[in-house]
Amino acid sequence: MKKVLTGNFAAAYGATAAKVNVISAYPITPQTTIVEILSEIVADGELNAEFVKVESEHSALACCIGAQATGARTFTATSSQGLALMHELIHWAARARLPIIMVNVNRAMAPGWSIWADATDSISQRDTGWIQMYCENNQEVFDTVLMSYKISESESVMLPALINLDAFFLSHTSQVVDLYNEARIDQFLSKYDPKIKLDVDDPHAFGALTSPEHYYEFSYKMHEAQINAIRVIKEVGQEFGKIFGRTYDLTESYRCDDAELILVSYGTIAGTAKEAVDQMRNSGIVVGVLKIRYFRPFPTEDVIKALHPAKKVGVIDRAVSYGQSGPFFNEIRSTLYHESTPLYGFIAGLGGRDVSTHDIENMVDIMQNDPAQDLIWIGVKNVD
Amino acid sequence: MGKKQKNDQPVEFKSIKDMPDTPTSVGSMLVNKTSTWRSIRPVIIDEKCKRCMICWKYCPEPAIHPTDPPSVDYNYCKGCGICYEECPFDAIIIEQEGK
Ligand code: SF4
Ligand code: SF4
């Protein structure tokens, strides 16, 4: 079944299709409609789930942690300041190895008070142990929510996942989304049944005091699980393709095979870059796009392979790691440490400023004519 | 009352593969003795003790067992002195550790 849906509705329908047992979330612009529609779906009896209203995002994630520990499948969604408020529990959910799925609508951090797209909120959660990915369109939002349950609940992974979509560019923009049919979704995603859960008939201690004797090993196992996730994301992406006709991987190469210049990006900017690439190719510029879907685990080998043919590589970040560079640029630079490819780090679209195909052409122009630079502020105004 | 644990044997890991993914285990607190930082110890004086069990109720660990008279489990008593403060019959005295 196909429907015209905003990114937020696609996220809510994804959680519904995954038949989640517990939803707990606190509304925040521009995520609010995810919570709104889910509360309606539950109230109308279309989804047999507990919808738990809470007083803050911190409590929302705490609620999901408790529920998930009992063996329930849970879902939450937030944005920007809300995600930041969850920070303590974001670590907790990962270290407790609870495969909670959270949708974050990428929104700039305040002040200045902003409700517009910027990836700084999610990138700030980089080292929490969560799987972290970025969506380009609403179909990908729906598909990723479904796939994420299967990936995160895999016995060799057992990590929560943060699915990001750009504020307004996806959250409030309508696109056609195929919702497939229920029987095939049930065939793809089986019931969540963890090995150890909170159960009065089989008591366990949870999150107990862990001395230096064992803490280190738990961290080692978290990293191992992230690395396992690389394989699982690929397997699940393939299986999804066989059942639903759309195959997914950690990265997506667009016209990269023969490309002399490759632009790396994520989220909706990757979509705009594809459009710009088509236009530039018509005028003889041999350029491609490498879209990074997964920030954690970082697809190091795939990135090296995909970027190998390029004479020059540019990275477009809708975020800044202050005092360093664009965060994705930093990843690409360390990934390509052993290559001599000149790299260009572009910052664009902060706080929801539009990134047009014209801006992308401007970046390619810089790559063609200027020496490599780590930090290039595209469209920054009034700088002397 | 909660159900009794099926398995209260301490867990020992031979390989990292035997370890659970997270500190979620049966009997882990039997291995984790949490009393190593205690600097003072409460001692219950049998003759003064009226078995009111207020110490048992107040111990936050809980490291006091409801025996007759109540007994302190020194594997888990952190030496906070709450039992000493709360005992209405001065039946608990405090001794310095390491003396
Ligand atoms: S509070 Fe004092 S009197 Fe009461 S049981 Fe404990 S030691 Fe005995
Ligand atoms: S000193 Fe504190 S921890 Fe030890 S038995 Fe008394 S109340 Fe419990």
**A30, A27, A29: which is closest to A38 by C-alpha?**
A27
Whole-number Cα distances in Å, A193 to A68, A70, A155, A196, B71:
10, 10, 10, 9, 42
CA distance A269 to A347: 11
Task: Show residues of chain A in contact with B27, CB under 8 Å.
Answer: 205
Q: How confident is the model over A5-23, as a mean pLDDT? A: 98
Residue B11 has pLDDT above 70, yes or no: no
Q: Are residues A162 and A99 in the same domain?
A: yes
pLDDT score of A310: 97
Q: Are residues A258 and A156 in the same domain?
A: no
Residue A133 has pLDDT above 80, yes or no: yes
**A119, A90, A128, A133: which is closest to A295 by C-alpha?**
A133
In this structure, the residues whose C-beta lies within 6 A of any atom of ligand 1 are B 44, 49-55, 70, 87, 89, 91-92
Comparing A218 with B14, the larger pLDDT belongs to A218
pLDDT, tens digit (0-9, with 9 covering 90-100), for A118-128: 999 999 999 99
Distance B76 CA to ligand 2 centre (A): 8
* Beta-carbon contacts of residue B19 (< 8 Å; ≥ 6 apart): A214, A217, A218, A221, B13
CB distance A196 to A136 below 8 Å: no
Whole-number Cα distances in Å, B4 to A256, B7, B76:
61, 9, 20
pLDDT band at B14 (very low <50, low <70, confident <90, very high): confident
pLDDT band at A205 (very low <50, low <70, confident <90, very high): confident
Across chain A, mean pLDDT equals 97
Phi then psi for B64, rounded to 5 degrees?
-105, 125
Q: A303: alpha, beta or left, given left = phi > 0 and alpha = psi -120 to 50?
A: alpha
CB distance A77 to A141 below 8 Å: no
Give the Cα-Cα-Cα angle A178, A179, A183 (nearest 5 degrees).
Answer: 130
What percentage of chain A exceeds 90 in pLDDT? 95
Task: Show residues of chain A in contact with B17, CB under 8 Å.
Answer: none
Residue B2 has pLDDT above 50, yes or no: no
Q: Are residues A238 and A261 in the same domain?
A: no
Kindly state the tokens that stand for A182: 């229920």
pLDDT band at A87 (very low <50, low <70, confident <90, very high): very high
Closest ligand 1 atom to the C-alpha of B70? 5
Q: How confident is the model over A14-35, as a mean pLDDT? A: 98
Helix (H) or strand (E) holding A294: strand A294-296
pLDDT score of B27: 65
pLDDT, tens digit (0-9, with 9 covering 90-100), for A291-327: 999 999 999 999 999 999 999 999 999 999 999 999 9
Kindly state the tokens that stand for A38: 């889910």
| B24 lies within 8 A of chain A by CB | yes
Q: How confident is the model over A57-63, as a mean pLDDT? A: 98
Query: Pick from A222, A244, A266: which residue ends a domain?
Result: A244
pLDDT score of B24: 73
Query: Pick from A244, A261, A281: which residue ends a domain?
Result: A244
Residue found by looking up tokens 């608990």 in the block = B92
Determine whether the shortest distance from the Cβ of B61 to ligand 2 is under 6 A: yes
Residue A236 has pLDDT above 80, yes or no: yes
Q: How confident is the model over B5-30, as a mean pLDDT? A: 71
pLDDT score of A209: 80
pLDDT, tens digit (0-9, with 9 covering 90-100), for A164-182: 999 999 999 999 999 999 9
Q: Are residues A71 and A152 in the same domain?
A: yes
Contact A96 B28 (CB under 8 A): no
Query: Pick from A189, A219, A244: which residue ends a domain?
Result: A244
Residue A233 has pLDDT above 80, yes or no: yes
Find the CATH number of the domain harbouring A18: 3.40.50.970
Q: Are residues A296 and A367 in the same domain?
A: yes
Distance A352 CA to ligand 2 centre (A): 56
Q: E-strand spans in chain B?
A: 24-25, 40-44, 64-65, 71-72, 92-96
Residue found by looking up tokens 């990590």 in the block = A159
pLDDT, tens digit (0-9, with 9 covering 90-100), for A237-288: 999 999 999 999 999 999 999 999 999 999 999 999 999 999 999 999 999 9
Residue among B13, B15, B18, B22 with most chain A CBs within 10 A, to mutate: B22
Q: Are residues A138 and A279 in the same domain?
A: no
Q: What is the per-residue burial (b if ≥16 Cβ within 10 Å, else e) of A114-145?
A: bbbbbbbbbbbbeebbbbbbbbbbbbbbbbbb
Residues facing A2 on adjacent strands: A178
Q: Are residues A315 and A353 in the same domain?
A: yes
* Beta-carbon contacts of residue A63 (< 8 Å; ≥ 6 apart): A22, A24, A52, A54
Whole-number Cα distances in Å, A116 to A82, A120, A169, B54:
14, 11, 9, 57
Task: Label the pairing between strands A2-6 and A174-178.
Answer: antiparallel
Residue A202 has pLDDT above 50, yes or no: yes
In the 8-state DSSP scheme, what is residue A21?
S
Domain extent, residue A118, equals: 2-244
Q: Are residues A229 and A307 in the same domain?
A: no
Q: At what angle do helices A327-335 and A300-307 cross, to 10 degrees?
A: 80
Contact A202 B6 (CB under 8 A): yes
Comparing A367 with B33, the larger pLDDT belongs to A367
**Mind telling me how many Å the CA of A92 is from chain B's nearest CA?**
10
Contact B19 A209 (CB under 8 A): no
Q: How confident is the model over B19-42, as a mean pLDDT? A: 81
Domain contains A383: no
How many CB atoms neighbour CB B92 within 10 A? 22
pLDDT score of B1: 32
Q: How confident is the model over B7-11, as a mean pLDDT? A: 55
CB distance A149 to A160 below 8 Å: no
pLDDT band at B28 (very low <50, low <70, confident <90, very high): low
| B35 lies within 8 A of chain A by CB | no
Task: Provide the number of structural domains found in chain A.
Answer: 2
Q: What is the per-residue burial (b if ≥16 Cβ within 10 Å, else e) of A328-356?
A: bbbbbbebbeeeebebbbbbbbbbbbebe
Closest residue by CA, ligand 2 atom 8: B59
Q: How confident is the model over A348-357, as a mean pLDDT? A: 98
Task: Show residues of chain B in contact with A220, CB under 8 Å.
Answer: 16
Comparing A213 with A352, the larger pLDDT belongs to A352
pLDDT score of A252: 98
Domain contains A382: no
Minimal-distance CA residue of chain B relative to A96:
B22
Distance B47 CA to ligand 1 centre (A): 11
Residue A157 has pLDDT above 90, yes or no: yes
Residues facing A166 on adjacent strands: A106
Closest ligand 2 atom to the C-alpha of B42? 1
Nearest to A96 among B16, B22, B26 (CB): B22
How many CB atoms neighbour CB A43 within 10 A? 10
Residue B76 has pLDDT above 50, yes or no: yes
pLDDT band at B23 (very low <50, low <70, confident <90, very high): confident
**Mind telling me how many Å the CA of A124 is from chain B's nearest CA?**
23
Domain contains A83: yes
Closest ligand 2 atom to the C-alpha of B40? 1
Minimal-distance CA residue of chain B relative to A156:
B21
| Ligand number with the minimum distance to the CA of B47 | 1
Rg of the Cα atoms in chain B: 17
**Mind telling me how many Å the CA of B33 is from chain A's nearest CA?**
10
Q: What is the DSSP string of A88-136?
A: HHHHHHHHTT---EEEEEE-PPSSSP--S--THHHHTTGGGS-EEEE-S
Q: Specify the CATH number of the domain B22-96.
A: 3.30.70.20
Residue found by looking up tokens 């920030």 in the block = A295
Find the CATH number of the domain harbouring A364: 3.40.50.920
Residue B7 has pLDDT above 60, yes or no: no
Residue found by looking up tokens 């937030």 in the block = A78
Residue B5 has pLDDT above 60, yes or no: no
Contact B25 A218 (CB under 8 A): no
